[in-house]
């Protein structure tokens, strides 16, 4: 669609599969970068003939506003602000099903703040999928940073789950090795709604 998406192809299909089965009313993507994933989410909504996207980005790259607006039909709303405090609930009706993909500032502190901010919007029929929970594994690579070993989205997920027993990680035994940027990032509210084969 002419814009870059910073995800592995397998992960894009996992997200598509989850969105197909959950059928959210609203998809919140935090961190837009070039807008490719945002447009992909919107195109899924078009295929499903259901749902819209709220994208939150603190510093939109050149051309992103225009590319997202071109989707038309009010399918994408871009909020230009810090994603840990974005007023997304003002753009939602009570009871809407919300799927959240936090992918902005990857520090533990910021991801934890995002999880606290968005968790109240996510009921048992949907999920939060935290991007880049594999960052610690990349700390030793040529472009990796040492601080990633401890300061990363996975650490935020662990501390969030410890403080929120009403949420659980969704995982399943894998018969084949999975290549994913966010294998440990699939979170669901416990005890409600239907089981989702998201991965």
**Whole-Å CA distances, 152 to 32, 50, 56, 198:** 19, 33, 20, 23
Contact 79, 54 (CB under 8 A): yes
Asked if 91 is part of the footprint of ligand SAM (rule: CB under 6 A), the reply reads no
**Could you say which residues in the range 95-114 bind ligand SAM, by CB under 6 A?**
103-105, 110
Q: How far is the CB of 169 from ligand SAM (least distance, A)?
A: 21
CA distance 105 to 103: 7
Cβ nearer to ligand SAM, comparing 145 with 166 = 145
Asked if 36 is part of the footprint of ligand SAM (rule: CB under 6 A), the reply reads yes
Provide the mask over 37-56, with x wherever binding to ligand SAM is found by CB under 6 A and - wherever it is not.
Answer: x------------------x
Cβ nearer to ligand SAM, comparing 22 with 37 = 37
- The position carrying tokens 């969030």 is 160
- Selection from 2, 8, 54 nearest residue 31 by Cα: 54
Q: How far is the CB of 121 from ligand SAM (least distance, A)?
A: 17
Hey, what are 78's tokens?
A: 């871009």
Contact 5, 40 (CB under 8 A): yes
Under the rule (CB under 6 A), what is the footprint of ligand SAM? 5-7, 29-33, 36-37, 56-59, 82-83, 103-105, 110
């Amino acid at each position: 669609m002419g814009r870059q998406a910073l995800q592995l192809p397998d992960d894009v299909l996992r997200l598509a599969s989850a969105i197909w089965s959950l059928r959210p009313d609203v998809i919140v993507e935090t961190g837009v970068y070039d807008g490719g994933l945002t447009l992909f989410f919107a195109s899924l909504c078009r295929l499903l003939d259901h749902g819209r996207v709220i994208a939150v980005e603190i510093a939109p790259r050149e051309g992103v506003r225009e590319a997202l607006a071109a989707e038309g039909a009010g399918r994408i709303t871009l909020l230009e602000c810090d994603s840990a405090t974005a007023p997304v609930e003002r753009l939602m009706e009570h009871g809407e099903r919300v799927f959240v993909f936090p992918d902005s500032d990857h520090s533990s502190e910021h991801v934890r703040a995002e999880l606290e901010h968005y968790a109240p919007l996510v009921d048992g029929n949907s999920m939060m999928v935290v991007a880049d929970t594999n960052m610690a594994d990349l700390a030793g690579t040529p472009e990796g940073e040492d601080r990633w070993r401890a300061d990363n989205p996975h650490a935020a997920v662990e501390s969030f789950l410890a403080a929120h027993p009403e949420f659980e990680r969704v995982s399943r035994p894998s018969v084949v090795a999975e290549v994913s940027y966010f294998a440990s990032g699939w979170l669901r509210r416990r005890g409600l709604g239907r089981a989702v084969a998201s991965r």
